[in-house]
Amino acid sequence: MPMPVYTFLESYDFSGKTVIPFDTNGGSGLGGTVDSIKNETGADPKEGFAISGVTAQQDQEETGKEVKDWISGLEIR
């Protein structure tokens, strides 16, 4: 994760909050993002979403469909 994200996670109280990671990447998927979020916040993140930045740029229609499908599958209110 970029350092500004770590700074954000360290700066806020996530007690009682739902954390749902998502990213674009160069091929690493979520990598260690979920573990980093757990370590920095004490939260138990929900299932995240990762997509290649190239895919997100070159196939916006498919990316939009994948994001909508992912969001509709989350158990959030």
**Per-residue model confidence as pLDDT tens digits over 54-64:** 999 999 999 99
**Per-residue model confidence as pLDDT tens digits over 4-52:** 999 999 999 998 888 999 888 888 888 888 899 999 998 888 888 999 8
Helix 33-41 / helix 3-11 crossing angle, nearest 10 deg: 30
pLDDT of 75 strictly over 80: no
pLDDT of 77 strictly over 80: no
11 membership: H or E segment, kind and range: helix 3-11
Quick one: pLDDT at residue 9?
A: 92
Number of domains, the chain: 1
Residue 29 lies in domain: 3-73
